[in-house]
Structure 1
C-alpha cells in the first residue's frame, strides 16, 4: 500500500534523510521511531507531498506522490504536526469547512465519524473550549473524512494522558480490524508502538538503522536484569564469560551459560548479587541499543 524508496533530503549542509526505504502492506499498522531530528516528520512530509525530496520517491497504492500528488493522496487521511482549527467556531463547523476544501461535505458520514471518535456530545461546542485530548479527537475525525485507505499520523498521542493513549490505541486497532485500514505513525511512546504495530522502522540521524517485525524484537537473546555491587567488577567477570552489557542493569548471556553458576561465581569473587532475573527483550531495549 505504501512504498518509500531511497528518500534523500538535505536542509542546508545537514542531511535530514539519507537513502531511507521501507514498505507498508495493506492493513498493517507501521511505526516510525527515532529521536527528535531523526527524520520522522520529514519522511511523513514527503509521503504527504508537503516536502519535496532531493532524491527518491513515495508511492501510495501504486501511485507516485511526487508525480501525481492529488491522485496518490485521494485515499489518504493525515494529522501532520500540530492540527489547527478555527477556535471561535464549533467542532462541527470546523469539520464542515475543512471537508469542503477537498470535496463536498457529507453530513451522514461526518456524524458517523464524530460518533466513532467520541465527540458527539461536544461537537457543537466552540473549539476554544476543547481540552487537548478533544482537539486530538477532532483532528482524528478530520483525517477520517472521507474514510481513507491510509492514515498518516504525526505524534498523535503527544500530550495525552494514559487514558487518552489507551483510547487511541484501541481506536487505531479497531480501524484496522473493522476496515482493514493501513496506518503509519511516529511516536515516542515505545510501549504503545510495541502493542500496536506490526512492523517498525527506527531512524537515526536521517538513516534507517532498523526495520522489521515487532514480534521479532525479542529474538533468541537471553536477557537478564542484574543488580550487583560493585557493578564494574562483576561486569568485568561476566564479560570474560561471554556476557554483554545492554545497558546498566541489563545484560545478555551466552546461549549455553548457566545463570546459577554465574551467580555462584560472582559471589565467590565477593560481588554482592541482589538480582539476576530473566527478562523479555523489549522494544525499548532495542531502541536504546540502536540510538545510543
Structure 2
C-alpha cells in the first residue's frame, strides 16, 4: 500500500475517533444560530453545547428569544443562519434522524381529555417504532404517575399533565428532552415535583434536559449549567458552581466580641471590613480558609459567636451580566 494512502487512512481513523469522543461529550450543538423576521433579528448567532446527563438552563427575560430558539431546535420554524445538531445530525439537513433523538414540550402539553393517561401514552407509543408496554410502565414510574395513570386526563391537575407530557416525551428514549417554560402555571408543590423528576431523569436515563425559563430561583435549584441570553444574544454560559459564585471566592461574616481587634489582626493579609460587632473577610474559598481563619481568631483570644457565608446567587450573576435588566 502506498505511503500516501496509509497516511490518509491514519488521518481518517483519527478523525473518526475525535468525532466519537466529541459525540460522547456533546449531544446538542448550536453554531451561530440566527433567526430574522421582517428585517429584525430575533435570535443572533447563538453558539453553545449541551452534554448528556445534565440539566441545562436557558435563561433570559421574556422576549429574549428563548422560545424562538427552541422552535428552531425542534424544527417548528426555519433557521435563517447557523446550525443545530442533535447527536451529530443536522436539524435542517437530517431532520428525521435528529428529531428521533429529541423529546420536547413547547408551551403546554396537549392530550385527549376523554382518554386515560395510559391510553394517551399508548396512542403516542403506536406512532413510535420500538416502544413497548414495558417502556410505557417505565416512563410512568419515572414521573411517578402510577396511582393516576388509569384516570381520565380531564381530571388531571396542570402539574399532572406536565408529568404526563414528560412521560410521553421520553417514551422513545430520546437523547435530549427540551422543555419550554415547564413551570408556568404550576403551584409550589408542582414546581418542586417537576424539578425533582427532571434531575432524576437526567441522572437515571442519561438524558440531556434543556429547560427554558425566566424564573431565577428555579433555575438555580434545577440546573447544572445555564446559558444567559438577552435580546437574542448569548451573554454567557456558566456552570452552576460558577453561577452560585463558589468559583470566585466568598465573603464571610464573623460575629465576634472584638471586631476592631480582629480587623487589626488580619489587615494587610486579607480584605477586611464590617461593623462594630461584625468582621467581614474576603476569602478565596469556602471550606479550608474559613476553618483556618476561625482557628486564628480563637487563638488570638477573640470570641466567635457566629459565621455566615455570603456567595453570589444566580440573580447576582445574572444582573451583573445583563447590567441590571432584572427578571423575576
TM range (shorter): 0.7 to 0.9
Question: Which among 265, 269, 274 is matched to residue 260 of structure 1?
Answer: 274
Question: Which among 193, 201, 204 is matched to residue 167 of structure 1?
Answer: 193
Aligned twin of 1:80 = 106
Moved more, 64-73 or 156-165: 156-165
CA RMSD in angstroms, aligned pairs only? 2.4
For residues 222 and 104 of structure 1, do their structure 2 counterparts lie closer, same or farther at Cα, with a shift above 3 Å needed? closer
Aligned twin of 1:25 = 51
Count of residue correspondences = 251
* 1:199-236 deviations in Å (ceiling 9; x for gaps): 211110100011121211214266699xxxxxxxxxxx
What is the 5 A alignment of 1:124-203? 124-203=150-229
* 1:115-169 deviations in Å (ceiling 9; x for gaps): 2212222222221111111111111111111122211111112222222222222
Aligned twin of 1:247 = none
Aligned twin of 2:85 = 59
* 1:50-90 deviations in Å (ceiling 9; x for gaps): 12110010001111111011101212111111111112222
Task: Answer yes or no: is the 8 Å Cα contact 1:194–1:214 preserved in 2.
Answer: yes
Task: Answer yes or no: is the 8 Å Cα contact 1:96–1:105 preserved in 2.
Answer: no
Task: Answer yes or no: is the 8 Å Cα contact 1:3–1:23 preserved in 2.
Answer: yes
Task: Answer yes or no: is the 8 Å Cα contact 2:142–2:201 preserved in 1.
Answer: no
1:197: Cα distance to partner?
A: 1.9
SS at the partner of 2:197?
helix
- Comparing both structures, which one devotes a greater share of its residues to helix? 2
In structure 1, what is the Cα distance between the partners aligned to 2:143 and 2:200?
A: 11
1:174: Cα distance to partner?
A: 1.5
Answering whether residue 220 of structure 2 is matched by residue 220 of structure 1, we say: no
* 1:21-41 deviations in Å (ceiling 9; x for gaps): 101122222110001111111
Task: Answer yes or no: is the 8 Å Cα contact 2:51–2:208 preserved in 1.
Answer: yes
Instruction: Return the TM-score normalized by structure 2.
Output: 0.70
Q: Considering only CA atoms, is the larger Rg found in Structure 1 or Structure 2?
A: 2
1:114: Cα distance to partner?
A: 1.3
Instruction: Return the TM-score normalized by structure 1.
Output: 0.79
Aligned twin of 1:43 = 69
For structure 1, list consecutive stretches of 5 or more residues without a partner in the other structure: 226-254, 265-276
* 1:156-187 deviations in Å (ceiling 9; x for gaps): 12222222222222212212222222111112
In structure 1, what is the Cα distance between the partners aligned to 2:163 and 2:274?
A: 51
